[in-house]
Amino acid sequence: MYTLLKKEKRARRGRFETPHGTIETPVFMNVGTLGVIKGAVSSMDLKEIGCQVELSNTYHLHLRPGDKLVNKMGGLHRFMNWDGPILTDSGGFQVFSLAKIRKIKEEGVYFSSHIDGSRIFMGPEESMRIQSHLGSTIAMAFDECIELPAEREYVERSVERTTRWLVRSKNEIDRLNAQENTINKKQMLFGINQGGTYEDIRIRHAKEIAKMDLDGYAIGGLAVGETHEEMYRTLDAVVPHLPEDKPIYLMGVGTPENILESVERGVDFFDCVLPARNGRHGHVFTARGKINLNNKRFEMDEKPIDEGCQCPACRHYTRGYIRHLFKAKEMLALRLCVLHNLYFYNKLMEDIRRAIDEDRFHEFKAQKLADWSRGQEPHIEK
Amino acid sequence: MYTLLKKEKRARRGRFETPHGTIETPVFMNVGTLGVIKGAVSSMDLKEIGCQVELSNTYHLHLRPGDKLVNKMGGLHRFMNWDGPILTDSGGFQVFSLAKIRKIKEEGVYFSSHIDGSRIFMGPEESMRIQSHLGSTIAMAFDECIELPAEREYVERSVERTTRWLVRSKNEIDRLNAQENTINKKQMLFGINQGGTYEDIRIRHAKEIAKMDLDGYAIGGLAVGETHEEMYRTLDAVVPHLPEDKPIYLMGVGTPENILESVERGVDFFDCVLPARNGRHGHVFTARGKINLNNKRFEMDEKPIDEGCQCPACRHYTRGYIRHLFKAKEMLALRLCVLHNLYFYNKLMEDIRRAIDEDRFHEFKAQKLADWSRGQEPHIEK
């Protein structure tokens, strides 16, 4: 259940109660595709870096190790040893971005596995069954994620089908939650708003799904190639038409700047592979913008990645040491940078929440954007 | 300074005081070639898994990031943020095992870097200077590690040269320790006994270097291709000729079985890449022998790697989950197994020390060897 604690213009400070604990919003979900965060980060580490919600991928876990195996092992929480909230996506996005040779029909999608090419069918019922097997806290409805740019006519037909799939998703999850051997009988369902960058289609769809009294509402199909301005314009248009008493989740977004802009537009939930992926390449976030630790200027830098940061990497190691680890192709380099970047995101959300609590989110946002664009102080050689 | 606390036949329980803390012996040193343990294990993790001594490689650190850089960063302890004892090898073994096109002269060895082929010279003075730059707790003398099998005549000439190199190593380290800007002015030096599997040459060399009053004595050039029986026979022959009031270090050894056999023969220090390397391949040590987590029989195994083990992997994750991580090529798999295997080794040494303390090492050894060869209980499918 979502409680709106405070609003500052459209920015929302809320609290979302789930069967696996309370989520303070706005929140950034830490992405662990296969039930693990890439970069040798464990569920124990997630607790240390301030993660509130872990996100795993239905499509990936269905293929490997298989949702039935995870189910037999007691569900995803027990499998990965994480007792906090887990959100699973529906597989919709992955089917459209990863799978080969796909065919979309009214019943669902026929496609080939990106691992071994084997033929698979997934529709709303299949997606819900997999997510129920995994026992995640929040399941996502099965939708079609439309590639942009897209013809208006195609988008209209697709969005209508996504609405029909949402009804089927809801019916199936209700049925599964009522079954005896379901791991999480209180599994929640978020619907997904689609419509590309056509504001009128987005709004019509938002109004339609808002009637369904779901546990939350996601905005999907953004951050897939459109400009940031189109994304913000779409948020401006659609967010006011989603229920105010439910959390709003912007899927797959984004940079720290994107997050500030989207919180300002009323978004509560975020997820993105960006901090972990950046970290694995030595690109790390600091109070003064992103830096690339592979750069020679950090060779003898005795400062932590980000001065004042309390993450495990910054408390114990210097930029010079971590740069050495990258050059030597040592895995610890990746681990430290992923831990740092996820901590940076989780801490950013905490700071955002406090700023809204204290009615100073807009100043906070302006200050952060200015700080991040300042860049690093010049490095003084000893 | 080494204090012999107790003996059970030849097995020794001791204590070695160093400028970076006390080492309880027998001890296994955890290998972090480049100032980091492979498998995303940090110096913070080392504290958690019971590591007493970290071992780094002079040759590797000289090439990357360079010992001068490490020196400017405050030495290896500060660079990798480890305040316990560090032993650095001399580079001798790596020059002979990794470098290409090498030429051995009285002054030292000319060779090509295994990274970029650049030509390098290393003799006793160079090795000591690099180790002094690194500021390790214990430096190893520069020696020639002879490939086995080797002709008697070659071994004799080589061992004589190794003795002359030891004298030069000692003179150079004394000079460096007396210098103003040396990071660790109390750097210790261990000499290295050589002689292949020729017992008489080994003994003659041992007697010769024993006179030099070094901080400790290593047995080098074993575990390089000879049989276990030849290794044990060589230990039986040479250990009694090394000073009883100094620690004895068997370089590059070995399996848990090798360690028990060598402790029985009077060895105090060990190091080996085996536990970390095995871990990275999913081969893990248990109270009932080694298992391969890639094996399908562990797919739904809800037990930890080793029941009763208190390592971070066993306290939190199941064999089934870790197997999934290996199959999905997730780095966390390697990290968890390396942590487990190093913990297993460090714990084994702790148990060995307690057994000697309690005068039951020989029973302990027999029991362990029996347990490890029993194998796993058959896995019962649910």
Query: Is any Cβ of chain B less than 8 angstroms from the Cβ of A328?
Result: yes
Query: What confidence score (pLDDT) does residue B377 get?
Result: 61
Domain end position, chosen among B240, B272, B304: B272
Q: Would you list the DSSP string of A272-333? A: -SHHHHHHHTTEEEETTEEEETTSGGGTT--S-SSTT--SHHHHH--HHHHHHHHHTT-HHH
CB atoms A328 and B81 under 8 Å: no
B contacts of A72 (beta carbons < 8 Å): 300, 382
ipTM of the complex: 0.96
Going by C-alpha positions, the residue among A244, A261, A161, A169 that lies closest to residue A201 is A161
Tens digit of each residue's pLDDT (9 = 90 or more) over B254-270 = 999 999 999 999 999 99
> Are B310 and B211 part of one and the same domain?
no
How confident is the model over A210-214, as a mean pLDDT? Answer: 97
Is A380 part of any domain?
no
* Cβ pair B28, A318 in contact under 8 A: no
Which helix (DSSP H) or strand (DSSP E) does residue A170 occupy? helix A152-177
Domain end position, chosen among B239, B272, B305: B272
The 8-class DSSP code of residue A269 comes to E
Please give the structure tokens belonging to residue A341.
Answer: 């970047």
- The SS3 call for residue B374 is helix
> Are A232 and A296 part of one and the same domain?
no
Please give the structure tokens belonging to residue B36.
Answer: 């980091």
Q: Is the pLDDT of residue B237 over 90?
A: yes
How confident is the model over B207-232, as a mean pLDDT? Answer: 94
> Are B329 and B242 part of one and the same domain?
no
What's A193's domain CATH number? 3.20.20.105
Query: What confidence score (pLDDT) does residue B147 get?
Result: 84
**Beta strands A119-122 and A109-112: pairing type?**
antiparallel
Catalytically active residues of A, by annotation: 89, 271
A contacts of B296 (beta carbons < 8 Å): none
Is A264 part of any domain?
yes
Please give the structure tokens belonging to residue B271.
Answer: 């190091």
Tens digit of each residue's pLDDT (9 = 90 or more) over A279-335 = 999 999 999 999 999 999 999 999 999 999 999 999 999 999 999 999 999 999 999
B contacts of A42 (beta carbons < 8 Å): 316-317, 332, 335-336
Closest CA of chain B from A196, distance in Å = 33
Closest CA of chain B from A312, distance in Å = 9
Query: What confidence score (pLDDT) does residue A375 get?
Result: 80
How confident is the model over A30-40, as a mean pLDDT? Answer: 97
> Are A164 and A265 part of one and the same domain?
yes
> Are B186 and B255 part of one and the same domain?
yes
Least confident of A247-256, B112-121, B226-235: B112-121
Query: What confidence score (pLDDT) does residue B29 get?
Result: 98
Q: Is the pLDDT of residue B381 over 50?
A: no
Q: How many folded domains does chain A comprise?
A: 2
Query: What confidence score (pLDDT) does residue B149 get?
Result: 86
B contacts of A320 (beta carbons < 8 Å): 69, 73, 79
B contacts of A81 (beta carbons < 8 Å): 316-317, 321
Query: What confidence score (pLDDT) does residue A377 get?
Result: 62
Is B178 part of any domain?
yes
Query: What is the rounded distance in angstroms from the CA atom of residue B241 to the CA atom of residue B224?
Result: 22
Closest CA of chain B from A45, distance in Å = 11
Is A296 part of any domain?
yes
Query: Is any Cβ of chain A less than 8 angstroms from the Cβ of B1?
Result: no
Mean pLDDT rounded to a whole number for chain B: 95
Closest CA of chain B from A332, distance in Å = 4
> Are A176 and A74 part of one and the same domain?
yes
Which is more confidently placed, B68 or B114? B68
Query: Is any Cβ of chain A less than 8 angstroms from the Cβ of B294?
Result: no
Query: What is the rounded distance in angstroms from the CA atom of residue A250 to the CA atom of residue A246?
Result: 13
> Are A216 and A167 part of one and the same domain?
yes
> Are B242 and B297 part of one and the same domain?
no
> Are B236 and B256 part of one and the same domain?
yes
Let me know if A81 is exposed, middle or buried by CB neighbors in 10 A (0-12, 13-18, 19+).
Answer: middle
Closest CA of chain B from A19, distance in Å = 22
CB atoms B328 and A42 under 8 Å: no
Q: Is the pLDDT of residue A19 over 80?
A: yes
- Number of inter-chain CB pairs under 8 A, A vs B: 117
Going by C-alpha positions, the residue among B84, B366, B65 that lies closest to residue A318 is B65
Is A110 part of any domain?
no
Domain end position, chosen among A238, A272, A306: A272
Q: What's phi and psi for A217, nearest 5 deg? A: -130, 130
Is A196 part of any domain?
yes
Query: Is any Cβ of chain B less than 8 angstroms from the Cβ of A334?
Result: yes
How confident is the model over B45-52, as a mean pLDDT? Answer: 97
Structural domain boundaries, residue B224: 2-91+126-272
> Are A226 and A318 part of one and the same domain?
no
Q: Count the helices and strands in chain A (H runs, E runs).
A: 15, 16
Query: What confidence score (pLDDT) does residue A378 get?
Result: 55
A contacts of B41 (beta carbons < 8 Å): 332
Preferred mutation among B30, B42, B116 to probe A, highest tally of A CBs within 10 A: B42
| Nearest-by-Cβ selection for A65 from B37, B39, B324 | B324
CB atoms B42 and A302 under 8 Å: no
How confident is the model over B2-26, as a mean pLDDT? Answer: 98
Give residue A111's identity as a one-letter amino acid code: F
> Are B28 and B68 part of one and the same domain?
yes
Give residue A378's identity as a one-letter amino acid code: P
CA distances from B132 to A18, B126, B175, B177 (A): 58, 10, 10, 8
Alpha helices in chain B (DSSP H): 43-48, 58-63, 67-72, 76-80, 92-97, 124-134, 152-177, 199-210, 228-238, 256-264, 274-280, 312-316, 319-327, 331-357, 361-374
| Residue located via tokens 């913070």 | B44
Please give the structure tokens belonging to residue A58.
Answer: 């239905």
pLDDT-derived band at A225 (thresholds 50, 70, 90) equals confident
> Are B225 and B294 part of one and the same domain?
no
Query: What is the rounded distance in angstroms from the CA atom of residue A273 to the CA atom of residue A255?
Result: 10
Tens digit of each residue's pLDDT (9 = 90 or more) over A94-137 = 888 887 778 999 999 999 988 898 999 999 999 999 999 999 99
Tens digit of each residue's pLDDT (9 = 90 or more) over A340-364 = 999 999 999 999 999 999 999 999 9
| Nearest-by-Cβ selection for B334 from A325, A328, A331 | A331
| Nearest-by-Cβ selection for B34 from A40, A79, A330 | A330
Give the chain B residue nearest A329 (alpha carbons).
Answer: B38
pLDDT-derived band at A40 (thresholds 50, 70, 90) equals very high
CB atoms A335 and B330 under 8 Å: no
Query: Is any Cβ of chain A less than 8 angstroms from the Cβ of B302?
Result: yes
* Cβ pair B279, B341 in contact under 8 A: yes
Going by C-alpha positions, the residue among A50, A88, A44 that lies closest to residue A353 is A50
Is B116 part of any domain?
no
Tens digit of each residue's pLDDT (9 = 90 or more) over B142-198 = 999 888 889 999 999 999 999 999 999 999 999 999 999 999 999 999 999 999 999
pLDDT-derived band at A382 (thresholds 50, 70, 90) equals very low
pLDDT-derived band at B292 (thresholds 50, 70, 90) equals very high
CB atoms A332 and B79 under 8 Å: no
pLDDT-derived band at B382 (thresholds 50, 70, 90) equals very low
Query: What confidence score (pLDDT) does residue B378 get?
Result: 55
How confident is the model over A171-182, as a mean pLDDT? Answer: 98
